[in-house]
Every structure is written in C-alpha cells, then in structure tokens.
Structure 1
Amino acid sequence: MNAAAAAAGPAAATEILHDPDRRLWLLSGPRTSYLIALREHDILVNLYWGPRISLADAAEISDGHLAGGASSFGAAGDGREEYPVDGGPRFAQPALAVQRGTVRGIEWTHRGASAEGTGLRLDFHDAGHALDIALHYRLRPGHDILERWTELTYHGAPAAPEEFTAADAPLELLRADAAAWPVPARDGYRLSRLHGRWAAETQLTRGPLARGTTVLASRYGHTSHAENPWFALDDGTADEEHGEVWSAALAWSGSWRIAVQQLSNDAVQAVGGPGHDDSGVARLEPGESYTSPVFAGLYSDGGHGAASRAWHAWQRAHIVPDADQVRPVLYNSWEATGFDLTEQGQKDLATLAAGLGVELFTTDDGWFGERVNDRAGLGDWTPNPDRFPDGLAPLAEHVRSLGMKFGIWVEPEMVNPDSELYRAHPEWAQHRPGRRRTEMRNQLVLNVAREDVQEYLFQQLDALLSSAPIDFVKWDMNRPFTDAGWPGEPYPRRLYLDHTRGVYRIMDRLRSAHPGLAIESCSGGGGRIDLGVLQRTDQVWTSDNTDPLDRLTIQHGFSQIYPARVMCAWATDSPNWLNGRVTSQRYRMRSAMAGVLGLGGDLTECSEEELAELAERVAEYKTVRHLVQLGELYRLRGTGDGTTVVEYAAADGAEAVVLGWRQGPHFGASAPRVRLRGLDASARYRTADGKAEHSGSVLMRHGLELAELKGEELSSTLVHLVRV
C-alpha cells in the first residue's frame, strides 16, 4: 500500500441506505456520502455532501434541518433542491421547464423509490402534464463519483383543471437538465473552470465565484474549444493535496450549458444539461420518453490532486473502452505530406516510422474522393483512384507487414459543396430556408440527426473498414454549427440533440461491427473532449497546437478531469509550425511523453542522428508508459513559475516516473527539488539506470533534486524510480 492509501485507511463498502420514517436516502461511496430527503410538498432536498457518515448521523442531520428562511422574495428550498423545476415558489435556475399548449410549470408528487445494487431511482409525477419524472443515482463500487441523470415520460392524458390542453398535444421540454448539484455552505467559494480557444484549449482558471449566475456553455454544436463541461468549487484554500473540493462533469458532446449559481440566500448550486439556452431541447408526443446524459459529481477532501485522481480512476474503470490496455505509439503523416500524399510516399514514411519503434501508422487527410485540397471531397469516403488505385489495402498491408497497426483520418459530419454527396443530396446539409448556407473551411455540416444521413455514413464507413485492415480512425470535426436548420421538420430544434445522438449511434455501430477498432475524437484539436464521447473513443486529440511549451499548460488543464491514458500528444518538427519556436528534440519528446505519445514531423527530412535519437526517446517512453497511462497522477509543480513537474506512480507504490520541464534558470536559481507522492515510505527506490538509490521517506519528505533542469533554456528530465 502506498503512503496516500495508507493515510486514508481502508475503503468502506459502497451502499445506499434508507430511513423510511424520515424519508431520506444516504448514498455512500468508499469515502464520501450524499444525503437527500423528501420534505413538504414532496420537495427533494440535499442535506449533506461530504466525508462518509453513518445512517445515524444522517438522521441527526435530517432532524436538525429546518425549512425556514423563506420570504416573499425568496424560497426556503432555493439552492438545496435536487432537481429544481419551473413552477411554484422557486427563484433558482430551474433544471426542468416544460410547456404543453399554453400551460407551463411543474407540480409533482412522489410516487415511490427503488434501489438495486448501488443504484437508486426516485419517481415523481405531474398529473397536470401527465408527466413521469425519474431521478436516477448510481455509485460504482470502489468509486466516489456519483452519476446522476433524469428520465422523463409523457403520457398525454389530460387532467383537471380544464385549462390543460388536449390529450394528444405534444409536451415541449424547454429545459431538461441532467441534475442539480447543491454545494454545502462555506464562507466563500472559488470556481475552477477550463476555457480556451483553438490552439489554446483547457486553460485552467481559478477565481472567486461571483454572486448571481455564472454560465459555462457551448452553442457550437459540439463540446467546444471555448469551455469544457466541467467545474470545481472550493472555499478558496484548497491546493493540490489539501482541502475540500466539489466538482462535476457533464457527459455530453453537443451544445450544453452549466449554470453555477450563488443565490441571495448564500446557497450555491449548479444545474447542467444539453442545450445552450432555454429555447427547447426536445418535444415529446404521448408515449415518448427523454433520457438526459449523465451529470457526474465528486466530493474530495484531498485537494484538487485527489479529485483528479478519483476522476481518472473512475474513467479508466467505467468510461473509456479497454482503458486497462496501454495505447500504442502513433505516427501521423499530416505534417509530413499535407494534402500532397501518394501511396508510395505513405509507405516510405511507414518504413521510417517502424524503424523508430512506432506501433500505429495513420494516414491523415487527402486519401479520399477528390481531396487534393480542403475545397473538395468531404462526404465521398472512397479512396482517391489516382493516389490509391487499388484502394487502401496495399498500404494497410504494408504497414501491417512492418509490425504496426494502420489508421486513417475521417470527418464524417462534414461535406464540401464540391463533392458527389452534396451534388446528390444538398438537403442533407444543415440549412435554413431562404438563408445563405455559411461555409467555413469550404465545408458545410451534415444533419446527422437525420436517420438517412446516419445510415449513409455508417454504410460508407463500414464498407471502408471492411475493404482493408484498418485498426484506427481519427474522427475529426473541423467547424461548428452555424445554420442549424432542418426544413420540413416539425420541431427543428431537436437537431441539436439528435445530431450528437446520431454521431454516438454511428460510432457505437462501427465498434460493434468491427471489434478491435479504436477511435480518436478530434475537433480541430480539442473541440470535442467530454465524458460522453469518451464512452466510445479510445483517446482524444488534445490540441492542434503541438508546441511543446504551450502543450504543458494545455495538458495541465486537461489533467484536472481527464486521464493521461486518453491524452494524445505529438512531438513535431522544430521550428514549430504554429509559432516558430525552436526546441530540442528531447524537450519535444518529453513534453509529449506526458500522455499517449505520438510523432508528427516529416521523417524524410530527419538526419540519421535525429532518427536515432527519436528511436531512443520512443524506447524511453515505452519503459514508463504503463505508469503514465495507467498510474496515479501527482502534479508536483504547476506551470506558473516556468517549471512544471508531474509524477505518475503505480497504485501499489512499486515504481514511479517523474517528468519535468523548465523554461530556463532565472536569476541563477538552482535545480528544483520536488517532494514525491504515492510511494512506500519504508522502501528504497533505485533509478532505472542504476545510478542512484533513495529512501522512499526521503523522496517524499525531503524531495528529489532534478539536476537536468538546471542547465539550458527549455530543459527537461525523466526520472524512473523502481522499488528495490
């Protein structure tokens, strides 16, 4: 057992307990508890979210909870409700708002509860709208992440009073969030969020939570570069290893909104779900149901570092496919060839890549249709006959013969006006009648909400994957929605929801039809990274920005919620294509070693010495990749002072790897010393090269000097420690 686990003590069993007299439920993970209870008018409130407590403790908390605090300008339940609805004396942001005919508002009654294993379902009913509302909770054994989602079923039967509309009238879901997260009262709150833009994704920002409503959202039609659907709250004192942190993440890859509210009664609550505004999510006909995506939450009293490690472990165990297997070292041909690719040129690159120890060779854009530039070909997913006269099979078989897997780039949701697909089906592109079709990057967005579009894309991609031994697909999306219209559709707003569902459906069908297929999520870099897409992809493209120094900041923010196991990072040529920065090959490679290592430079321009060093660095990465991708992450030094240090430790403390980067020694500063985490204090550790040996206690309490970070500008280090 490592030091962190020993200090925390043994984990308790995951369980859901019920006190029927007090109408409360206590959901407990290994180290945390979440307490909810029904109050007057069947209002469901949160009474506690923090370190694990007993049912007796829960009863005492419930008995001491007083409803008071209401006035003509406030409601007692504001900020404490588990699922605030539009209607009645509520002034917080509602999670659910519906309209049937001209009637709005929800008045529910509790219908019952059922628990199965570590899952809980609470049922409510609104008689006026003939609407069933089921609130779902789930804890996975061994994890403290609480998964929540909501299911709505509309029956269509009218009820008194008479002003309710006809039985067959549809019910519009103006807002249908997954959950609300009430946060316990503290003296102050600090909000952590991930914002950014293209080439500058997942920038971590922490600052005081403003009173009122802070909205995190995407109206882009995908997760977006601008915001990521995750947030964390603390009282302003939490650091990497100490303090209380509450965080939540939405598992959705389309437009979304999370509203974090600090109300006039000082309560803090966040609601979140699909859709960027209140103009409508879905419309239900009688007998139809809607199920929201999961909105997952976590409490940790071990600071932001422990929260990240809990998120990572849960995703590797229950979200990411095959996450117990390390991802291969990848080479991508884009920066070497751009659109100017040939079958022989790709074979030559593959031969060079195999000599470096690369395990997955990927041919990027330009292999299909009339795709000789970015103005044509999207939508025509058959190999270009001039470049690949016999299809992709000869190239794929050559790659396989070199001992590597073979992958391709696709952008299924897009279409160029100059394509066979668009000429045959211009109506398949998102557009609004009488309005200009906005082109970005010379392309339009297909309406993947349409079932015929879904079927076309599946058939095209299925045939492609069946035509050659293709192991990997880089699924890109290089522009957002702009003209999200659907002529002829009675409820065109559903495009936002059903486009994303359609993408999920195609991915799921392809994985089922082609066992072993791996998918990388890409959207102009990191524009589609979230817990929803990660359920059906093996890794994500973190950013188009491959500058190794910029990437450290991007990767730091990424690691707050997402594990290194899914973070694809490339080492490319110097000077960097984006900003012209000149860096050493060692620095570039070690920056990329913090995740799933990829190479993306032009290997044909490398000298023999450069190729030899690349091979050496690939071999170096392979000795520690099991720790990077599957180990526990400790952020030892952030990016604020120009020095970044991360540690990946085995869960049992048997070994660890320390990666460090420094912009340069300032004012004659000495080499940094970092105190490690997650080791066995009673053991001794030897560096993998056999040159040094250290006490685990000394490494954690006194620290490890990173001598390689004392010298030149943009220096890096890698120290692999193994328990003796």
Structure 2
Amino acid sequence: MSHDEIVWSPGPFTLVLSLADGTPRLSRVHLNGQDVVRPATPLPLVELGVVGSGRSWSARRYVDSLAGNRLSYQRHALQADDTELVVTSVDESNGLTVTTTLSAVPGAGALRISSRLVNTGSLDVDLTWITSAIWGGTLADAPFESLRLWWADNDWLAENRWTSATTREVLPDLNWEAHKIDPRGTFARTALGAWSTDGTLPLGVVTDESTGLAVGWQLEHNGGWHWQAGERADGLYVSLLGPTETEHDWYCRLAPGQEFSTVPVTIAFATNGFEGVVAALTAARRYGRRLHPDHTRLPVIFNDYMNTLMGDPTTAKLLPLIDAAAEVGAETFCIDAGWYDDDAQGWWDSVGAWEPAPNRFPGGLSEVLDHIRDRGMVPGLWLEPEMVGVRSPIAESLPDEAFFLRHGRRVVEHGRYHLDLRHPLARKHLDEVIDRLVGGLGVGYLKLDHNINFGVGTDHDAISAGAGLLGHNRALLQWIDGVLDRHPDLTLENCSSGGMRVDYAMLSHLQVQSTTDQQDPLYFPPIAAAAAAAIAPEQAAHWVYPQPTFTDELIAFTMTAGLLGRLHLSGHLDQMTDAQRALVAEAITTYRGYRPFVATAVPFWPLGLPGWEDQWIAHGLRDDQQTLLAIWRRGGDSDSCIVPLPAADVEVLYPKATDATIERVEADGVPAVRITFPHTHQAVVLAVGDRSAQ
C-alpha cells in the first residue's frame, strides 16, 4: 500500500482506492485475475448534491458533483479480519465529514456500502442527492458496445420480468471524438413512494458476454430509490442512490452537528455472468439479514386467501380447511384478510383496530386458533399495520400527527390513512395490537401487508415529503426489530399487494416474502422462476393453490411453483378427493425431504431467465453436490424441449406418477436432456446428480 492508494483484499476480490489528488476515488476492482472495474478517470467514492455547489456538467446525471470532487482524504481503518474498510474524508468548504463503510460478504464477491455525513462546520448544509455508491470504468476491458445491461420490470400480478439490452441500445453513440465531452443522458430506473418495487426491482447487472465478467447491484431501501448507468469517456459509470429531490421530493438540511446516513447498497462481482452475480447477491442476502429459525426450518405455510376464502373467513369455513391442511402436511396455518370485520359495508376502509369479528367466530377466534394448534400447526393472522381505514375508530382516537400529512391535511388513498411510525402514539398502537395477538392469543405467524402507495410521503415534521417518508421507512424497520426482540419466535411475512415492496431493507428484518397476488396458475411459473434473482429462495413464498376441479397434471403444475422456494399453500383441499389430496401431500413430503438444500443453494436458469409469454420455463437450484430443476410447459404446439444439463443421473422427484419422458441428448456439443410433456400444461421437478448430501 502506497501513500497514493488504499488496497483492500477482503476475499475473492481486491479493491483499490486512489488518493493521488487527495480525494478517495474507486480506481480498480480486481476479481480472480481480471479487472471488473477500472476507470481511466476514477470517480469520487461519494458524489453529493450540495445546494450552492452543483455539478461541473449540467445533465440529468448523478455524477460530476463539485462537492464530491472536493472531498479530501483524512484517514481509513481496517478491521482485524479485513472484512470492513472505513474511509473518512472532508469537504472543508461546506464543513461536511463523510465516513464511508465498505463491508465484504465472507467468501463471496460482494460488498455492502453506506456513508454517514456529519456537518462539522458552523453553517447549515443543504443536500439534494447523495450517492450510496458510484463507479466508472465498468468492465473496461470490453468494448462499450459489447456490454449488456439487465434490469427487471415489476408490476402487480406481473412481477420479476427481467430483460436486457446492449449498452448501445439504451445509450446511443453520440460520437465522443467529435464533441470531446460526455453525454447528458443516462439509462435509469426509479421507484417512487412507499412501494419500493412498484414498476421495477432495485437491481441491475452489467455483463460482458464474451468473457463472463459481470457487475451487479442491489439497493436496500423500503421507499424511493434511483439507479442510473451512463457513458463517460472511459466507459460505463453506474450511480446508486436512495431518494433524491428531483425524483422523490427528498431534501436534507444538516444543521451543525447533525448527521445523515445513506441508503445501503450491495455490489456484486462475478466471472460467470448474470448467474454469478445472482449467486453473490444471494450470499449477501443470507449474510446480512437478521438471524431467525425460519430461515433453516422452512415450514410449509397454508394461507386461506388465494382462490379459496378470499377475505371471508368464518369458523365454519376454516375448521375443515384446517383439518385438510394438517392432513397434507402444512405446518403453519394463516388466516388471511377479513377476520377482524363483519361490517356490511366491507372491511377495506374500516381496518385498524384489529379485533376479531364476533359474528365470524361464534365461539371466539381462540376456538379456531386452538384448533390450528391441536392439529400440530402454528396459527397465523393477516395484518396491514401501516393502514387505518377512514371508518376505523383508530382514525378518531389517534391525532393527525400520527398519520401521513401533506400541507397540514391527512393524506387519503383508496379509503385509508397511513400511520407515520415516527410518531410514538402510532408505534404504541401497533405494539399493543401485536402484543395482544401474539402474547394474548398465541399467534406465531403474522402476514404484514401494505396495499396502498401514498405517493411522495409526509411533510409533517420534515423539510420535504420525501424526507418524511424516509424517516417513516426507517422507523418501520426499527418497529419491526422491536416486535421481534419481544417475540423472537414470531415469523413475519412481507407482503405489499404481492411483490410491490420486495427489498432487502425489509427482507433483512422479515423472514418470508409473498412474491405475487397472481391468481392464475398458468401465469405463475415466470414469476416464481425469476423470483430467486431478487429474493433468497428460502424467503420467496410462492402461492400454490390446487383445486378440486384441477386435473392431476394441473395440480402438479401449480404445486411445482413452490417447490424451489417456500410453499405458500392454499386451495379448497377440504373438497378434494383422497387421490387429489395425496398428490398435494406428495409434493409437501418431497419438499420437506430436501428443504435444507433450498436454504443454502443458489439459483440458475438453463433456458435463460423466463419471458412472460415463454412456453417452456426452467429454474433450478444447485450447490457443489446436487441440483434440483423445475420445468414447466405452458401450452404451445411443441411437446418437447431440450434443456442443457451436465452429464449426470436424472430422477423425477415430483410427481412420481408422470407420463413425462426424459432422455439424455447432446445439443451443440453440450450435454442436455430432452423433456417431453404430452399435456399442454405440465411440470416436473428433477433431481440431477448426487442427492446423498441431503
């Protein structure tokens, strides 16, 4: 290590910070003998928009800030095991001290970055944006035109739709030689409001398909964020940010002595392309989350909602479902929406008190919960904690300041108010609800939903609505930790109209993620197959809702969606024949036999990431000793598909009784299997290679 650079080698990669001009700049990331980041003109470790400073080049790009380029290196520190590097720098003209922490994920090519800004000067400092991470020279050894950028569109009922384009398809060639100056444009993805994944996932990947080198990223925030990729003279830069003034009405004024912390991000490096980045991100997701027994136990969850009771639970409807769920092997039974309301006007705009509806449960809700426990399952309930309906008594008992406000008025959306968890009375109300349900009724599982996006946030007790939302976002995570501190055996599911808040701010605290609200089993495979790119498989709960009207092939088709993640079982099991229930039970027994593998394996896609209309979809999990692969046929004229697979034994795990055929072939010189499904909608789960390590 010279006086002009900091060299950090925490594991598979080496990171170099240049100090040549006094400003810490990311100058190189070296992985397994190859450079994945190497700009000719390194960017500052942190770029920031300070009012009164601005940028050196006017553009819609979060780069080239004067303040960032003024940061002067002060010191750095390494942990004894080299897993953490802390770099401190100062912008003396604004009196800002910036401390950036880079934490490596042990054994993986991934690191987590966040910064803390402290006003150590004598005047207020106003900030309009701050990068959580930024770097230039991405995959600099490859021609710019050969780089491929990956992102995922994410909409209600149509989650996890990955796509890609070459950098030149999204960043046109402007003939740099003719102008000798950088472009003004970028390719960007942004989430707005309280739904962090409404429209797009907080992920991106850049690959060089000729070499397999790849860089990916994940923004870990449960509100608004922004990432952008753009061209500079020395190649592709990537800038990752939490909320900004332009996109999110976020603004920060630091008085002397005050501080602000950026949204954390994780960056992953790989030499084996997109799947290598996902493997590194999966390791980071597992390493960075709160410890909880659910992550290794992976109990099978029955939830009464999807295509079953649909928000209308009663004792009479639940008891036979409970018996049937226990019979097929479910281990948790969650009563979903509607348990708290018997109002003729409906429950949507009256939620908030979370008291059992007596007319639904003549013997009391405890009778049903006791029956769940008597059948050997953990009882669960659905909650939407941040919501209070306009007709709820809680709307009157709490002051305006406990809710989102804008311009002094309560924000209303679709008949609901939104609690502001910065307010002590809002937190007190929810703590009392949780403690009553868990401590009083013995509930061991809570599904926490969030079905309304309230826009930019709340400007009460905040300089801007975006700043108020960020405060609430962080208070929500603190509240969740408080719940789990008091009730460590409680399992919490994250849901937001399915997959509208799928981020690792939430999932580093909550144990399970509902992946979608999609009710059509034929649309579920692309959602389930691609989910593992965004969620650790053991946290990804996929609805499987077999019905008495389904053929055996369709029962197996829908059950397969949950077998490489978390089984989120529903359906009228109580109305099925014994043979149909046996087919469901077979899937659960099979899953329970290998679920420890799900909690440690990494995903892959031998047919590529699924397209929304793809007729054949393949998604697998693997480790050094074994591979499981789910394959679906979703219509079309062709009854067979060739899937690249290593030369090894192939066994059908589920369903055992199948008319599918599998034969070993070679395709383009690569070992493969030909799968033939005689039915237009059919699926199997295969075991490939040695499964003895289970």
C-alpha contact 1:149 1:293 (8 A) present in aligned 2? yes
Match of 1:195 in 2: 153
Question: In the alignment, what sits opposite 2:8?
Answer: 26
Q: Secondary structure at the match of 2:430?
A: helix
1:342 maps onto 2:314 in alignment: yes
- Indicate whether 1:548 and 2:525 are aligned: no
Cα distance between partner residues in 2 of 1:357 and 1:598 = 12
- Report the Cα distance in structure 2 between the residues aligned to 1:205 and 1:702, rounded to whole angstroms: 25
1:325 paired residue number = 296
Name the SS of the counterpart of 1:315 in structure 2: helix
When the two structures are superposed, what TM-score results if normalisation uses the length of structure 1? 0.82
- Secondary structure class of the residue paired with 2:406: coil
Letter in 1 for 2:23: I
**2-side partners of 1:96 and 1:366: how far apart?**
52
Q: Does 1:380 align with 2:353?
A: yes
Alpha-carbon separation, structure 1, partners of 2:470 and 2:201: 18
Shift of the 436–22 alpha-carbon distance from structure 1 to 2, 3 Å rule, reads closer
1:222 and 1:528 in contact (8 A); partners too: yes
Question: For the structure 1 residues 35 and 706, does the alpha-carbon distance in structure 2 shift closer, same or farther, using more than 3 Å as the test?
Answer: same
Query: Structure 2 matches for 1:467-478, cutoff 5 A?
Result: 467-478=440-451
Partner of 1:45: 25
1:512 paired with 2:485, answer yes
Query: Which residue number corresponds to residue 151 of structure 1?
Result: 116
Q: How does 1:387-402 map to 2 (within 5 A)?
A: 387-388=360-361, 392-402=365-375
Structure 2 residue 572 is matched with structure 1 residue 602: yes
Compute the displacement of 1:660 (Å): 0.9
1:685-720 Cα offsets, whole Å, 9 max, x none, are: 77667999x99999998645354x331101212223
Cα distance between partner residues in 1 of 2:323 and 2:216: 46
Describe the shift of the 1:705–1:266 C-alpha distance in structure 2 as closer, same or farther (beyond 3 A). Answer: closer
Query: How far 1:485 sits from its partner (Å)?
Result: 3.3
| Aligned-partner residue type, residue 246 of structure 1 | V
Q: 1:174 to 1:258 in 2, by over 3 A?
A: same
1:429 equivalenced with 2:396 (yes/no) = no
Which residue is equivalent to 2:180? none
Cα shift at 1:44: 2.4
Of the structure 1 ranges 262-271 and 185-194, higher mean CA displacement relative to structure 2 is found in 262-271
Structure 1 residues 415 and 581: alpha-carbon distance in aligned structure 2, compared to 1, 3 A threshold = farther
Match of 2:179 in 1: none
Change in 2 beyond 3 A, CA 1:315/1:485 = closer
Out of 376, 382, 400, which is 1:403 matched to? 376
The match for 2:128 is 174
Partner of 1:8: none
Aligned residue in 2 for 1:121: 86
Distance 1:435 1:517, change over 3 A: closer
Q: Distance in 1 between matches of 2:332 and 2:668?
A: 37
1:147-206 deviations in whole A, cap 9, x for unaligned?
Answer: 111111123x43xxxxxxxx4xx4333213322133242312321111132111111010
Query: What's the TM-score once normalised by structure 2's chain length?
Result: 0.85
Given the alignment of the two structures, is residue 36 of structure 1 paired with residue 17 of structure 2, yes or no? yes
Aligned residue number for residue 338 of structure 2: 366
Q: Secondary structure at the match of 1:24?
A: strand
What SS does the aligned partner of 2:242 have? strand
Structure 2: distance between partners of 1:486 and 1:623:
51
Whether the 8 Å contact between 1:48 and 1:184 is mirrored in structure 2 is: no
- CA shift, 1:105, in A, is 8.3
What CA distance in whole angstroms lies between the structure 1 residues aligned with 2:390 and 2:295? 42
Q: Distance in 2 between matches of 1:461 and 1:673?
A: 51
TM-superposed deviation, 1:311: 1.7
Alignment partner, residue 539 of structure 1: 512
How has the CA–CA distance of structure 1 residues 665 and 420 changed in structure 2, closer, same or farther, with 3 Å as cutoff? closer
Superposition deviation, residue 443 in structure 1: 1.7
Deviation at 1:623? 2.8
Structure 1, 468-477 or 551-560: larger mean CA deviation: 551-560
Deviation at 1:403, TM superposition (A): 1.0
Segments of structure 2 that go 5 or more residues without pairing to the other structure are 172-184
Write out aligned runs for 1:203-242 (5 A).
203-209=161-167, 210-211=170-171, 212-235=185-208, 237=209
CA contact (8 A) 1:257 1:276 kept: no
- Preserved CA contact (<8 Å) 2:159 2:499: yes
Does structure 1 retain, via aligned residues, the 8 Å contact 2:456–2:469? no
The alpha carbon displacement at 1:339 in A equals 3.4
- 2:324 paired residue number: 352
Deviations 1:104-130 (A, max 9, x none): 887332211111131111111122332
Does the 8 Å contact 2:194/2:453 carry over to 1?
yes
Give the secondary-structure state (helix, strand or coil) at the position aligned to 2:195. coil
SS for the counterpart of 2:246 is: coil
CA distance in 1, matches of 2:443, 2:331: 13
Identity of aligned residues (%): 21
- Tell me the secondary structure at the aligned position of residue 9 of structure 2: strand
Change (3 A) 1:454 1:261: farther
Measured after TM superposition, the shift of residue 402 of structure 1 is 0.6
Task: Provide the residue aligned with 1:70 in structure 2.
Answer: none
* 1:246 and 2:218 correspond: no
Q: CA deviation at 1:555?
A: 2.7
The one-letter code sitting in structure 2 at the alignment partner of 1:716 is: A
1:633 aligns with 2:603: yes
Please report how far the alpha carbon of residue 474 of structure 1 lies from its aligned counterpart in structure 2 after TM superposition: 0.7
How far apart, in 2, do the equivalents of 1:371 and 1:536 lie?
A: 34
- Worse overlay, 611-620 or 119-128: 611-620
- How far did residue 490 of structure 1 move? 5.6
Establish whether residue 705 from structure 1 lines up as the match of residue 670 from structure 2. no
Distance change (3 Å), C-alpha of 1:276 and 1:701: farther
1:415-467 superposed Cα distances (whole Å, 9 cap, x missing partner): 10110100223613323247684432x22222223233123222222222111
Name the SS for the 1:380 alignment partner. coil
| CA–CA distance in structure 2, aligned partners of residues 462 and 84 of structure 1 | 44
Tell whether 2:90 aligns with 1:109.
Answer: no
**Other-structure match for 1:11:** none
In the alignment, the residues of structure 2 paired with residue 352 and residue 684 of structure 1 have an alpha-carbon distance, to the nearest angstrom, of 36
The letter for the 2-side match of 1:429 is F
Q: Deviations over 1:34-91 (max 9, x none)?
A: 2221121x2222222242359xx99xx99xx97xxxxxxxxx55xx332223448743
Output the CA distance in 2 between the equivalents of 1:574 and 1:687: 23
Is 2:253–2:463's contact at 8 Å kept on the other side of the alignment?
A: no
Q: Per-residue deviation at 1:275?
A: 4.2
- Answer yes or no: is 1:657 the counterpart of 2:628: yes
1:579-599 CA-partner distances (Å, limit 9, x unpaired): x99971111111232321122
Structure 1 residues 38 and 570, CA, compared in 2 at 3 Å: closer, same or farther?
Answer: same
Going from structure 1 to structure 2, the CA distance change for 1:700 and 1:320 (only over 3 Å counts) comes to: farther
Instruction: In structure 2, give the amino acid aligned to 1:260.
Output: A
Q: Map Cα deviations across residues 196-245 of structure 1 (whole Å, 9 max, x no partner).
A: 3211111101012333212211112221331111101123x26xxx6111
Aligned counterpart for 2:278 among listed residues 275, 297, 308: 308
CA displacement at 1:608 relative to structure 2: 3.3
SS of equivalent residue, structure 1 residue 627: helix
In the alignment, the residues of structure 2 paired with residue 25 and residue 282 of structure 1 have an alpha-carbon distance, to the nearest angstrom, of: 33
Q: What is the distance in 2 between the residues matched to 1:462 and 1:96?
A: 50
Task: Confirm or deny: 8 A CA contact 2:493 2:512 kept in the other structure.
Answer: yes
SS of 2:556's equivalent?
A: helix
C-alpha separation between the residues in 2 aligned to 1:113 and 1:485? 37
Q: Distance in 2 between matches of 1:673 and 1:482?
A: 46
Q: Which amino acid aligns with 1:256?
A: W
Partner of residue 717, structure 1: 684
1:261 maps to: 230
Structure 1: 5+ residue runs without aligned partners?
Answer: 1-18, 67-75, 99-103, 159-166
